């Protein structure tokens, strides 16, 4: 990392509207994958932190209650990574990719923003309120340096304009 980039880490939030309650047989495959995928994330290069309760996941943490697209509820995944490359390497490979492929079995499709990225000072952990603000901002204003997506990425504050890591090309 150069200069200011090392002082920043990438916060990531994504939400999902459940098709059924977490206790349902329809979501059994998702629930079964939570612990192993979280363990892989925790051990992934560049992983810094994730929102979790005493059970080790965030499914019972109230978040995005204003997003009322489903009666079964909304779940949140809030993490911090060393870089966009580290996040992408984990997201699009291995067991996590297998779970992503099955998301339509468990979650409602969303036409509005359900994922937001933003830079936080190294060692700072975002709150659910921070995540909600970023998603709302993204829905209202589209990608900006304050809240962006994998497709429309903004580098860390202090990075020279036009600097984008090569691995981000082709994210979708």
Domain extent listing, the chain: 3-161
3-161 adopts what CATH topology?
Alpha-Beta Plaits (3.30.70)
Predicted TM-score (pTM) of this structure = 0.87
The alpha carbon torsion through 90, 92, 93, 96 (nearest 10 deg) reads 70
Q: How far apart are CA 165 and CA 167, in angstroms?
A: 6
Q: What per-residue confidence (pLDDT) applies to 161? A: 63
Q: What per-residue confidence (pLDDT) applies to 3? A: 47
If one counts every other C-beta atom within 10 angstroms of the C-beta of residue 19, the result is: 16
Listed residue (108, 133, 78) closest to 18, CA to CA = 108
Sheet strands side by side (includes 8-17): 47-50, 74-81, 8-17, 115-121
Q: What is the pLDDT along the chain (172 residues), one digit of tens a residue?
A: 444 557 999 999 999 999 999 999 999 999 999 999 999 999 999 999 999 999 898 999 988 988 866 667 899 999 999 999 999 999 988 888 888 899 999 999 999 999 999 999 999 999 999 999 999 999 999 999 999 998 899 999 998 765 554 334 334 4
């Amino acid at each position: 990392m150069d200069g200011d980039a090392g002082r920043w880490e990438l916060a990531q939030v994504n939400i999902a509207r459940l098709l059924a309650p977490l206790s349902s047989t329809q979501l059994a495959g998702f629930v079964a994958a939570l612990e192993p995928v979280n363990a892989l994330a925790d051990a992934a290069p560049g992983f810094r932190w994730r929102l979790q309760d005493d059970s080790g996941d965030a499914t019972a943490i109230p978040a995005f209650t204003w997003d009322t697209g489903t009666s079964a509820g909304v779940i949140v995944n809030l993490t911090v990574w060393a870089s966009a490359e580290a996040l992408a390497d984990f997201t699009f490979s291995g067991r996590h990719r297998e779970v992503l492929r099955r998301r339509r079995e468990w979650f409602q499709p969303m036409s509005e923003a359900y994922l937001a990225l933003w830079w936080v000072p190294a060692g700072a952990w975002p709150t659910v309120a921070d995540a909600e603000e970023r998603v709302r901002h993204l829905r209202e204003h589209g990608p900006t340096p304050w809240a962006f997506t994998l497709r429309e990425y903004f580098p860390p504050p202090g990075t020279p304009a036009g600097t984008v890591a090569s691995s981000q090309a082709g994210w979708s």
